[in-house]
């Protein structure tokens, strides 16, 4: 055991080196900051903003509301300080505020005034329905109770108008769910997201089966697809999320020996036969909250 561990140290696998090489400590803390945004900036600011991502030491903060954009800009220095205090390192140097691009698509419930649609330059209000369509809708809503008849007819007119206007403008519908497509889209955003999620699940299962394999190895063995950059993205995403998940368990002291082994395999991508207990223990202790030591890792020496 001792000798093996010694050998691994010699091979350049000492713990600080692994962490440094994988540059995991700061990213992990930043990831925590992202989840804990509310604690850092307070509930009021957190309601209108979130951490969208990181570009080296620059934090990208998405703001949902332009009024808050100015407010947050004034607090910039304070927020940088708060983040650095949270991650316990003077890492963050700047914040870039962006209007959130991930805002859910704007929904217009009543569009009879003919206002411009967001995303499409289609003026629904200008669309004219054929007499045939109007008659058909009147007919189909005639059987409804009187109190809601007119409301439903108006709703159906608005729908038909939208349909007519979009079709006239050459806007196509998602072949899978019927949602209107943006320019250049083959599938709508939500259907694409769902397809991606399916692929991610498959990648997750593979990574969990053999966490020590690299992306190139998985591709070479034909275990994951080779679709442009998508699988590289999914592989990195899955790996990162798994690592964070196990770190979190260790941090909260609710990890099992299997969790620790998985984390060590994921981080080092060493073959499981190369893992010694001492090595795993050393690695995982880095992430453990000082005060608690997981019961299964407790030894007489502790």
Q: Are 171 and 182 in contact (CB under 8 A)?
A: no
For the CB of residue 190, give the shortest distance to Zn ion in the complex, in Å.
6
Q: Decide: is 179 part of the binding site for Zn ion (CB under 5 A).
A: yes
In angstroms, give the least distance from the CB of 199 to Zn ion.
16
Angstrom distance (rounded) from CA 163 to CA 177:
15
What token pair was written down for 218? Answer: 């998985």
Q: Which stretch binds Zn ion (CB under 5 A): 38-46, 190-198, 225-233, 257-265?
A: 190-198
Task: Give the residue with the Cβ less far from Zn ion, 177 or 205.
Answer: 177
DSSP codes joined into one string, 184-236: T-SS-HHHHHHHHHHHHHHHHHHHHH-TT--HHHHHHTTSS---TTHHHHHHH
CB 185, min distance to Zn ion, A: 9
* Inter-residue contact 124 to 162 (CB < 8 Å): yes
Residue 187's Cβ-count burial label (10 Å; 0-12, 13-18, 19+) is middle
Asked whether position 176 contacts Zn ion by CB under 5 A, the answer is yes
User: Closer CB to Zn ion, residue 43 or residue 104?
Assistant: 104
Q: Is 267 in the site for Zn ion (CB under 5 A)?
A: no
191 touches Zn ion (CB under 5 A): yes
CB of 296 to Zn ion, least distance (A): 47
CB of 196 to Zn ion, least distance (A): 13
CB of 159 within 8 A of CB of 141? no
Smaller CB separation from Zn ion, 188 or 263: 188
- Give, as one character, the DSSP assignment of residue 180: B
Q: Distance between CA atoms of 178 and 70, rounded to whole angstroms?
A: 39
Q: Answer yes or no whether residue 195 interacts with Zn ion by CB under 5 A.
A: no
The smaller minimum CB distance to Zn ion, of residues 191 and 202, is found at 191
Q: Which residues contact 202 (CB under 8 A, 6 or more apart)?
A: 224
Tokens at 12, concatenated: 């350049």
Binding segment for Zn ion (CB under 5 A), chosen from 111-119, 133-141, 168-176, 199-207, is: 168-176
Of residues 188 and 265, the one with the C-beta less far from Zn ion: 188
Q: Determine which residue in the list 98, 177, 208, 220 makes contact with Zn ion, applying CB under 5 A.
A: 177
| Nearer Cβ to Zn ion (146/198) | 198
Site size with Zn ion, rule: CB under 5 A = 6
Please identify, among the stretches 40-48, 79-87, 186-194, 200-208, the one whose residues bind Zn ion according to the rule CB under 5 A: 186-194
Backbone angle region of 119, left / alpha / beta, with phi > 0 → left and psi within -120 to 50 → alpha: left
Contact positions vs Zn ion (CB under 5 A): 174, 176-177, 179, 188, 191
């Amino acid at each position: 055991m001792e000798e093996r561990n010694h050998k691994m140290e010699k091979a350049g696998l000492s713990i600080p080196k692994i962490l440094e090489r994988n540059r995991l400590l700061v990213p992990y803390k930043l990831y925590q900051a992202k989840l804990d945004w509310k604690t850092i900036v307070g509930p009021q600011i957190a309601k209108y903003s979130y951490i969208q991502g990181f570009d080296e030491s620059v934090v990208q903060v998405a703001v949902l509301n332009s009024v808050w954009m100015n407010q947050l800009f004034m607090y910039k220095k304070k927020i940088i300080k708060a983040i650095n205090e949270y991650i316990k390192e003077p890492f963050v140097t700047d914040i870039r505020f962006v209007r959130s691009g991930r805002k859910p698509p704007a929904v217009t419930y009543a569009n009879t005034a003919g206002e411009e649609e967001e995303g499409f330059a289609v003026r629904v209000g200008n669309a004219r329905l054929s007499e045939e369509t109007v008659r058909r809708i009147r007919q189909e809503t005639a059987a409804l109770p009187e109190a809601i008849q007119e409301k439903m007819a108006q709703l159906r007119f608005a729908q038909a108008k939208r349909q007519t206007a979009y079709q006239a403008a050459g806007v196509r519908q998602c072949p899978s769910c019927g949602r209107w497509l943006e320019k250049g889209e083959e599938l709508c955003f939500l259907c694409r997201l769902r397809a991606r999620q399916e692929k991610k699940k498959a990648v997750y299962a593979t990574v969990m089966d053999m966490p020590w394999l690299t992306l190139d190895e998985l591709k070479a063995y034909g275990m994951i697809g080779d679709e442009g950059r998508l699988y590289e993205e999914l592989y990195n995403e899955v790996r990162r999320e798994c690592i964070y998940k196990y770190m979190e368990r260790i941090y909260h002291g609710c990890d099992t020996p299997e969790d620790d082994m998985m984390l060590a395999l994921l981080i080092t991508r060493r073959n499981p036969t190369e893992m010694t207990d001492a090595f795993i223990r050393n690695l995982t202790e880095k992430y453990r909250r000082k005060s608690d030591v997981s019961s299964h890792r407790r030894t007489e020496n502790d």
